[in-house]
Amino acid sequence: MNLTKCSFSWPWFGFWAYSYSCEGKKFCTEDLTLISSGALEELGLLAGTPVGTSLIDAHAGGVGVMESLPKTDCEAEENDNEAISHRMVLVCGTSTCHMAVSRDKLFIPGVWGPFWSAMIPEYWLTEGGQSATGALLDYIIENHVSSPRLANRAASQNTSLFLLLNNMLESMMSEMQYPFIAALTEDIHVLPDFHGNRSPIADPKAKGVVCGLTLDTSEKQLARLYLATMQGIAYGTRHIVEHCNANGHKIDTLLACGGLSKNALFIQEHADIIGCPIMLPRESESVLLGAAILGAVAAKKYSCLSDAMKALNAAGRVIHPSKDPRVKKYHDAKYRIFLELYEQQLSHRSIMAQALA
């Protein structure tokens, strides 16, 4: 096979890069990527064309959003190499990836990594995750008897089903005189491990739980169940953040991208439940921006990935946790129930294992 050198700028990425690197050392900066002449021809590239090594999609999202802080925050942290270690990126879609970086090599039970320079050069990446988030919300909605009616109404109003449910919850809060929207789920609790628990428990046998079902099949009941599921997902993220911080991280800021980040209620519930501000990037397609940043570095538009991220990442909105102490008290109580649901499941699993022994 005929190979030609293709200029490539710092750094190498991912697991392939990891096997060729040494901890704490910089990678080579140029003339590393070998592209076959056949590949060049198929791609329509000339020899010497800069080619940036690709990333896992979620990691590209991290590159595209990690520096998306408001300008005042960016200026204050411009020369602080540790500032980035206080952030966690949530790439929220069918599933959710939770990515944080650190100067220290942190081995955290139930969380993948640490991977050296796998996302950001010269930082260790740890990655948590939830196996089903957007997929779980779809499952809950689509398997409810009221779903077809709501879907038809959303289509007739030229709006999304999620926005319709969000608006319905706002109306229910007002009609029923609840103090805040989250209180609508006081009798419904969801453990969202319908596809096992990826982090921080790492239990593939974990099952989803819905506590508080009745014979009610109304649209309002679906709205409550949808909200409770959304909250269960957010409690899962809180569990991951607390677990990472208990094992050496110092996460106090979240940045979110992906399809679910476009759901205002989903993001607000996460902010309220975790107690952290959540930064939303100006660019809605952060994974694509991350890939473009890699190309810009490979083409030597920027001297390093960090400079490219700071130049091309941009903040959109900042979602702050509620200042109402009742909201925190409410979510702290529901979070206790969330944790207990898994402990009860382990107890039930043990009882049945003994029965079958």
68: which residues sit within 8 A by CB, 6+ positions away?
255, 279, 280, 281, 282, 283, 286, 313, 314, 315, 316
Per-residue pLDDT of the chain (357 residues; tens, 9 = 90+): 444 444 333 333 333 333 333 344 433 333 345 567 788 888 888 877 777 777 888 999 999 999 999 876 555 555 567 899 999 999 999 999 999 999 999 999 999 999 999 999 899 999 999 999 999 999 999 999 999 999 999 999 999 999 999 999 999 999 999 999 999 999 999 999 999 999 999 999 999 999 999 999 999 999 999 999 999 999 999 999 999 999 999 999 999 999 999 999 999 999 999 999 999 999 889 999 999 999 899 888 998 999 999 999 999 999 999 999 999 999 999 999 999 999 999 999 999 999 999
Domain ranges, ordered by start, for the chain: 1-53, 56-287+303-357
In this predicted structure, what is the pLDDT of residue 30? 37
Superfamily for domain range 56-287+303-357: ATPase, nucleotide binding domain (3.30.420.40)
In this predicted structure, what is the pLDDT of residue 140? 98
In this predicted structure, what is the pLDDT of residue 74? 54
Cβ pair 318, 176 in contact under 8 A: no
Query: pTM above the 0.75 mark?
Result: yes
The residue behind tokens 């991912």 is: 14
In this predicted structure, what is the pLDDT of residue 24? 40
In this predicted structure, what is the pLDDT of residue 37? 79
In this predicted structure, what is the pLDDT of residue 201? 97
In this predicted structure, what is the pLDDT of residue 77? 55
In this predicted structure, what is the pLDDT of residue 46? 83
Among 46, 64, 47, smallest CA distance to 281 is for 64
Where would I find the beta strands (DSSP E) of 184-319?
189-191, 209-211, 253-257, 278-281, 315-319
In this predicted structure, what is the pLDDT of residue 208? 98
DSSP state letters, 282-346:
SSS-HHHHHHHHHHHHHTTSSSSHHHHHHHH--EEEEEPPP--HHHHHHHHHHHHHHHHHHHHHH
